[in-house]
Amino acid sequence: MPFIMIPNRDVLASLAQKGYRITPQRLMILQAIEEASGHISAEEIYEGVRHNYAGLNISTVYRTLELLKVMGLVAETDMGDGRVRFHSAGHDHHHHLVCSVCGHVIDLDAAALAPLSDMLIERYRFRADLNHMAIFGRCEECT
Amino acid sequence: MPFIMIPNRDVLASLAQKGYRITPQRLMILQAIEEASGHISAEEIYEGVRHNYAGLNISTVYRTLELLKVMGLVAETDMGDGRVRFHSAGHDHHHHLVCSVCGHVIDLDAAALAPLSDMLIERYRFRADLNHMAIFGRCEECT
DNA sequence: GCAGATATTGCAAGTGTGTTGCAATATCTG
DNA sequence: CAGATATTGCAACACACTTGCAATATCTGC
């Protein structure tokens, strides 16, 4: 059993409280997500954790991510590269400007889309779920 | 060879002009896209066309869609249901409010997102490509 | 601590959407 | 109409993700 850092105690408490078990795999996956700078895919989590613990299976990563997502502990964004990316929900809510040319991602804070959200409710009675939205386009360098 | 309606002449001219050939498969696929109310997936185009012409292969559908997309004759939107959907680019540009609960899609005209687009250029120097964007959330009925 | 209940894992096979190499065939040009 | 070449159908593949199930690990109550 490899050495394991202790991730966010609140996350562990949330899991335990609902009858979910704290396993080394879950600890390592959580740690990988929290350590990731930016947004990390299931495959990247898998590769990262396997450096310490070769026995990990990719299906455990997917199942853990699904669990964390349903519990609202991680957020999911489709950056349009054919796989879904995750980050800790503990960070501030934000959106993503994804450059279609160079792949660079600019973070955009949640407030920036508030006017859009208000307009959609007023004009269409549509309550947009704008968490972690990806907007595609070209960044300054790639114009 | 089945009976074939004549799709948009401009589209045929665009194809011919670039050395692409007018085949019955392409005619039938184009027709399926133009006749579709709303947004149609590759699989739906395939099934629809096969009613008339059983010999069609799904890879021909994908290759034709790719061609039409590159030529700007159809537009593509990821509605978040695990497959990409297409519609004729001849129609007005618009966006989509997709209800996560009932799947209902509200069309939103392009102008509605102009303020967002302007803000992103001004504040982030990011030129968003907002064509046929999908915004997820809940419609009035599913609140 | 320990035993039993049960949540979780690893494995291997399966899904679903979309892609690709290649030989056969169809379209277009002169 | 013949030749050049674009396109198709086929079958196999790619890739991200899912699932059934037996083996194993975690947690709870004593």
pLDDT in tens, A123-139: 999 999 887 788 989 99
Q: Which of B88, B104, B126 is the last residue of a domain?
A: B88
Six token digits for residue A109: 């804070």
- In angstroms, how far is D21 C1' from A78 CA? 32
Helix (H, G, I), strand (E, B) or coil at B74: strand
Helix (H, G, I), strand (E, B) or coil at B42: helix
Q: Which of B45, B61, B88 is the last residue of a domain?
A: B88
The answer to which of A4-8, A43-47, B24-28, B110-114 has the lowest mean pLDDT is: A4-8
Instruction: Assess whether B17 (CB) lies less than 7 A from strand C.
Output: no
Average pLDDT, chain A: 88
CATH code (residue A99): 3.30.1490.190
Which secondary-structure segment (H or E) carries B52?
none
Q: Is residue B84 part of a domain?
A: yes
- What pLDDT is recorded for position B7? 52
Residue from B39, B44, B135 nearest A126 by CA? B135
Per cent of chain A over pLDDT 90 is 57
Residue from B80, B133, B128, B110 nearest A112 by CA? B128
Q: Which of A88, A105, A127 is the last residue of a domain?
A: A88
Could you give the number of structural domains in chain B?
Answer: 2
- What pLDDT is recorded for position B68? 95
Considering the domain architecture, whether residues A136 and A67 belong to the same structural domain is answered as no
pLDDT greater than 90 at residue B100: no
Alpha-carbon distance of B119 to B117, in angstroms, equals: 5
Residue from B105, B108, B98 nearest B137 by CA? B98
Cα first-last separation, chain A: 50
> What's the rounded mean pLDDT across residues B8-22?
88
Q: Is residue B26 part of a domain?
A: yes
Q: Is residue B38 part of a domain?
A: yes
Q: Is residue A4 part of a domain?
A: no
pLDDT greater than 60 at residue B6: no
- The DSSP annotation for B86-138 comes to EEETTSPPEEEEEETTT--EEEEEGGGGHHHHHHHHHHH--EE--TT-EEEEE
Q: Is residue B130 part of a domain?
A: yes
Q: Is residue A71 part of a domain?
A: yes
pLDDT greater than 70 at residue A88: yes
- CB contact, 8 Å: A112 with chain B? yes
Considering the domain architecture, whether residues A68 and A98 belong to the same structural domain is answered as no
Instruction: Note down the domain range covering B78.
Output: 9-88
CA-based nearest distance B93→chain A, Å: 16
Considering the domain architecture, whether residues B80 and B112 belong to the same structural domain is answered as no
CATH code (residue B45): 1.10.10.10
Of residues B27 and B109, more confidence is placed in B27
> HEC profile for chain A?
CCCCCCCCHHHHHHHHHCCCCCCHHHHHHHHHHHHCCCCEEHHHHHHHHHCCCCCCCHHHHHHHHHHHHHCCCEEEEECCCCCEEEEECCCCCEEEEEECCCCCEEEEEHHHHHHHHHHHHHHHCCEECCCCCEEEEECHHHC
Grade residue A8 by pLDDT with cuts at 50, 70 and 90. low
Of residues A39 and B101, more confidence is placed in A39
pLDDT in tens, B24-75: 999 999 999 998 877 899 999 999 999 999 999 999 999 999 999 999 899 8
Instruction: Assess whether A26 (CB) lies less than 7 A from strand C.
Output: yes
Q: Kindly list the residues from chain B whose CB atom is less than 8 angstroms away from the CB atom of residue A119.
A: 112
- What pLDDT is recorded for position A7? 53
Considering the domain architecture, whether residues B79 and B15 belong to the same structural domain is answered as yes
Length of chain A as a residue count? 143
